[in-house]
C-alpha cells in the first residue's frame, strides 16, 4: 500500500501575499458584506412589518432574502478573517460545512426562483384562480419544498465529494471551498463522480430553467393581450425584477461552473468566485427595491424617509 497523508485542513487561495493589500481586500469585502446584510435585512423587515405586503409574492421574496443573506455569510466572513490574521487555512470540518451550506443555499435559491415564476404565472395567466391556488398553506409548502430540495441536493453532492481521498495536496484554488477545485485534489478516481454530479446538476438546473422560460413565454403572451397600456405596464413591472434576478443568478452560475477548471488561472478563479458568490446577494435587494414600487414605499416608511419628507 502506498503511503497517503490524511488531510486535516485545506489552504484557501489568498488575494495577495502583501499585508497592505490583504487589509485593502478586507475593507472591500466588509463593504460588500455590510451592503448585502443591510439590503436583505431591510427587505425582510419591510415585508414582515407591512401588512400590505403579506402576499405570496412578497412571502417568497422574504425567503429569497434570507437565502441570499445566508449564502454570502458562508464565504465572505471566513475570507475576511483570514485576511486580518494573515492566514489561509480552513479545517477539514470547516470545508465540509462551507461546501454543504453553499450548495444548499444556492440550490434552494434557484428552486425558490422557480416557485416565484410559477406564482407570477398564476397571478397573470389565471388571476381568477390565484387566491385558491396560492393560498397560505400552498405557499408554505412550496417554500419548504425549495429549502428541503436544497438540503437533499447538497447532502448528495457534499457526501459524494468528501467520500473521495485527498492526496493531491491541500491547496484549494479558490478563496472558499468549492467542489470543482476540491475534485482536482482527489487521488481517487473522481472522473465518474465529477461527470455524475455535473450531469445530475445540469438536469435539475435545466429543468428549472426551462420551466421558468416556458412560464414567462406564457406570461408575456397573456400580457400582450391586455388591451389597456396601463394594465400591460403594471403586469410587466411585477415580473421584471424577478426576471432580472433569474438572469443574474443563471448567468453568474453558468460562467462559474461551465468554465474549464483544468485550464483556469488562479486570478480567473478568484474573479469568478467573487462574481457568483457575492453579486446576486448584493444586487437582488437593489433590483427589487428599485423596480418594485410597493417595496420602495415600504422601505421609505421603514427608514423614516416619509417623516423627513413631510417635515
DSSP 176-227: S--HHHHHTTB-S--HHHHHHHHHHHHHHHHHHHHHHHHHHHHHHHHHHT-S
Question: Is residue 265, in this structure, part of any structural domain at all?
Answer: yes
Q: What are phi and psi of 297, to 5 degrees?
A: -65, -40
Give the Cα separation of 164 and 56 in Å (integer).
42
Question: Is residue 4, in this structure, part of any structural domain at all?
Answer: no
Neighbours of 129 (CB within 10 A): 11
Question: Is residue 56, in this structure, part of any structural domain at all?
Answer: yes
Question: pTM to 2 decimals?
Answer: 0.86
Q: Strand 171-172 vs strand 9-12: parallel, antiparallel, or unpaired?
A: parallel
Question: Is residue 133, in this structure, part of any structural domain at all?
Answer: yes
Neighbours of 19 (CB within 10 A): 11
Question: Is residue 3, in this structure, part of any structural domain at all?
Answer: no
Give the Cα separation of 164 and 157 in Å (integer).
12
Taking only the tens of pLDDT, the chain with its 311 residues reads 344 456 788 888 877 777 778 888 889 999 999 999 999 999 998 888 888 888 898 999 999 999 999 999 999 999 888 888 888 889 999 999 999 999 999 999 999 999 999 999 998 888 889 999 999 899 999 999 999 999 998 998 888 888 878 776 788 888 899 888 888 887 766 556 666 776 777 778 888 889 999 998 998 888 888 887 777 777 777 788 888 888 888 887 777 666 655 555 667 778 888 888 888 899 888 888 777 778 877 878 777 654 444 44
Question: Is residue 44, in this structure, part of any structural domain at all?
Answer: yes
Question: Is residue 311, in this structure, part of any structural domain at all?
Answer: no
Q: Among all chains, which residue has been given the C-alpha cell 475534485?
A: 183
Q: What are phi and psi of 226, to 5 degrees?
A: -70, 125
Task: Count the domains in the chain.
Answer: 1
Question: Is residue 85, in this structure, part of any structural domain at all?
Answer: yes
Nearest alpha carbon to residue 172 among 82, 285, 88, 279: 88
Q: What is the CATH number of the domain that holds 165?
A: 1.20.1070.10
Host domain of residue 75:
9-306
Amino acid at each position: 500500500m502506498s503511503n497517503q497523508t490524511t488531510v486535516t485542513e485545506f489552504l484557501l487561495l489568498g488575494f495577495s501575499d502583501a499585508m497592505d493589500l490583504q487589509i485593502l481586500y478586507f475593507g472591500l469585502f466588509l463593504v460588500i458584506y455590510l451592503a448585502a446584510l443591510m439590503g436583505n435585512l431591510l427587505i425582510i423587515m419591510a415585508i414582515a412589518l407591512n401588512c400590505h405586503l403579506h402576499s405570496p409574492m412578497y412571502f417568497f421574496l422574504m425567503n429569497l432574502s434570507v437565502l441570499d443573506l445566508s449564502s454570502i455569510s458562508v464565504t465572505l466572513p471566513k475570507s475576511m478573517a483570514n485576511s486580518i490574521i494573515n492566514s489561509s487555512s480552513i479545517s477539514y470540518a470547516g470545508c465540509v460545512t462551507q461546501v454543504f451550506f453553499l450548495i444548499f443555499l444556492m440550490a434552494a435559491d434557484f428552486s425558490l426562483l422557480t416557485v416565484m415564476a410559477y406564482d407570477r404565472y398564476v397571478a397573470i395567466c389565471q388571476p381568477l384562480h390565484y387566491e385558491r391556488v396560492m393560498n397560505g398553506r400552498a405557499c408554505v409548502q412550496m417554500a419548504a419544498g425549495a429549502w428541503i430540495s436544497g438540503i437533499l441536493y447538497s447532502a448528495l453532492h457534499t457526501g459524494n465529494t468528501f467520500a473521495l481521498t485527498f492526496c493531491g495536496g491541500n491547496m484549494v484554488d479558490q478563496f472558499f471551498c468549492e467542489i470543482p477545485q476540491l475534485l482536482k485534489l482527489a487521488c481517487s478516481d473522481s472522473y465518474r463522480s465529477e461527470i455524475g454530479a455535473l450531469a445530475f446538476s445540469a438536469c435539475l438546473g435545466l429543468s428549472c430553467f426551462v420551466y421558468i422560460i416556458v412560464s414567462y413565454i406564457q406570461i408575456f403572451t397573456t400580457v400582450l393581450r391586455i388591451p389597456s397600456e396601463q394594465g400591460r405596464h403594471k403586469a410587466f413591472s411585477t415580473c421584471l425584477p424577478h426576471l432580472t434576478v433569474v438572469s443574474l443568478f443563471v448567468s453568474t452560475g453558468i460562467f462559474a461552473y461551465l468554465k474549464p477548471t483544468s485550464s483556469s488561472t488562479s486570478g480567473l478563479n478568484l474573479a469568478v468566485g467573487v462574481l457568483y458568490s457575492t453579486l446576486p446577494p448584493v444586487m437582488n435587494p437593489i433590483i427589487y427595491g428599485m423596480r418594485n414600487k410597493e417595496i420602495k414605499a415600504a422601505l421609505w416608511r421603514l427608514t423614516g424617509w416619509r417623516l423627513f419628507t413631510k417635515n
